[in-house]
A and B are shown apart, each in its own frame.
Chain A
Amino acid sequence: MTRAPHPALAAQLLALADDELILGHRDSEWCGHAPILEEDIAFANLAQDELGHAALWYELAEPLLGRTTDALIFWRGATDYRCAQLVTLPKGDWAHAMLRQFLFDAAEAVRLPRLAASAYAPLAERAAKVRTEELYHLRHTQAWVRRLGLGTAESHRRMQIALNTLWPYALQLFVPLPDEAALTAEGIVPDAAEVRAAWEALAGEALRGAGLAAPAGTAPAGLDRQTPGPHLPALLDEMQSVARLEGPEVGW
């Protein structure tokens, strides 16, 4: 039997969806700009996958929030978004883009199997759907992290810079949302600390294999999902511009 959704669940779904949507948008910025044709195609695919996954989470959030997916995507301002700042950062160089995607993919690889065991069945079945697709992402980005980390002195240097920058932002993915403890107690979402430990083990091993060292530390203060950060408003301006020209009655 499906249990009645917990009130804090909507915030969880929104965080999941917003991360996927905004990262997908950043990925799409590589379309036409990646260093080789195959990666141009790969990042376009990654973007499309992330948008598909975002849609699955938004659909689940729709009845809880009383808003449509289109309204949530195109008619919300930056302060109402709940994505981690990691996914809002500008696309940067190739090392930065690949490493961000890898850190996110590794987080998905540990979070989704746990969400697939959620006591809330609609959440569990969607996580099970997304997790196999995400396998392709992690395999791809992990291979690239190794290639760039062990490649030339310049590629290694850029990867280490990207890692030093991105690691504290990535830790924000494991900062519990308000009232998350109640959801964890009911078995609806996994324990954030346990997910983080599993992520650090998975990402850490891959990074060490690529000759890269993760910096020590915790998520900096001020990195929470209630604070959109400096980069999201401009991203939304661009992403929402066409929809806002047309008006809220148009379906996307």
Chain B
Amino acid sequence: MSVDPAAVWEALNEVMDPELPVVSVVELGMVRGVTVDGDRVTVALTPTFAGCPAQAVMQAAVAERVRALGPAAVTVTLQLDPPWTTDWIADTAREKLRRVGLATPRPHGGLIQLALDEPAVCPYCGSTQTDLRSAFGPTLCRAIYYCRACRQGFELFKPL
């Protein structure tokens, strides 16, 4: 049966990042396109970090969720160009991530070197009196910070 592209997007918005289960693949900016050709659906996904072990899980989850809409065939393609950037994280996702203690970097428009030196905003108190403790954290996409204002550790989604 033919599927409405809007319904596909809606369904994809229910596929959560297994490492950050408060946000969907759509909100993270990972879905680069949805193509409906009769009863065939193609979803183009872009990986966040190349070595992210959640990628295969998300691809499978995307295919399974779209298949539930009833098309004859679902294809999930990987699109590397242009590379994913934290600029694509939706505002709704930024707020959800902040609420679970994960800061997101301001959009940098490709000036990644500048973004790396910008202070992280504490997700708990909003202060920029924060120090990078380690550029490497519990997953490839997170760095560990400490807020001197509220004396709380937190994580930052590394600018990419």
> Which residues of B100-151 have CB atoms within 8 Å of chain A's CB atoms?
112-113, 116, 133-138, 140, 144
Q: Say yes or no for B33: interface residue by CB 8 A criterion.
A: no
Contacts of A44 in B (CB 8 A): 136
Given contacts A125-B81, A129-B80, contact A49 B140 (CB under 8 A): yes
> Which residues of A73-132 have CB atoms within 8 Å of chain B's CB atoms?
121, 125-126, 128-130, 132
Q: Cα distance A130–B160 when bound, in Å?
A: 10
State how many angstroms separate the Cβ of B80 from the closest Cβ of chain A: 5
Q: Cα distance A56–B52 when bound, in Å?
A: 12
Contact B135 A140 (CB under 8 A): yes
Q: Given B133, B144, B160, which contacts A133 in the complex, CB threshold below 8 Å?
A: B160
Q: Say yes or no for A243: interface residue by CB 8 A criterion.
A: no
Contact A56 B50 (CB under 8 A): yes
Q: Say yes or no for A48: interface residue by CB 8 A criterion.
A: yes
Contact B83 A49 (CB under 8 A): no
Q: Cα distance A132–B83 when bound, in Å?
A: 9
State how many angstroms separate the Cβ of A60 from the closest Cβ of chain B: 10
Q: Cα distance A56–B50 when bound, in Å?
A: 8
Q: Say yes or no for A46: interface residue by CB 8 A criterion.
A: yes
Given contacts A125-B80, A132-B160, A135-B113, contact A52 B51 (CB under 8 A): yes
State how many angstroms separate the Cβ of B88 from the closest Cβ of chain A: 13
Q: Say yes or no for A41: interface residue by CB 8 A criterion.
A: yes
Q: Cα distance A133–B141 when bound, in Å?
A: 10
Contacts of A53 in B (CB 8 A): 50-51
> Which residues of B44-83 have CB atoms within 8 Å of chain A's CB atoms?
47, 49-53, 80-83
Q: Given A45, A125, A128, A130, which contacts B140 in the complex, CB threshold below 8 Å?
A: A45
Q: Cα distance A11–B81 when bound, in Å?
A: 23
Given contacts A42-B136, A46-B136, contact A133 B81 (CB under 8 A): no
Contact A41 B52 (CB under 8 A): no
Given contacts A38-B133, A135-B112, A139-B135, contact A129 B83 (CB under 8 A): yes
Contact B53 A135 (CB under 8 A): no
Contacts of B138 in A (CB 8 A): 41
Q: What would 24 A/B residue contacts be, using CB atoms closer than 8 Å?
A: A38-B134, A38-B136, A42-B134, A44-B136, A48-B51, A48-B53, A49-B51, A49-B140, A50-B51, A52-B50, A52-B52, A53-B50, A53-B51, A55-B51, A56-B80, A121-B81, A125-B81, A126-B80, A128-B83, A129-B81, A132-B83, A132-B112, A135-B113, A140-B136
List residues of chain A with CB under 8 Å of any chain B CB: 38, 41-42, 44-46, 48-53, 55-56, 121, 125-126, 128-130, 132-133, 135-136, 139-140
Apart from A132-B83, A140-B135, list 8 A-B contacts with CB within 8 A: A44-B136, A45-B136, A49-B49, A50-B51, A51-B51, A52-B49, A126-B80, A133-B49
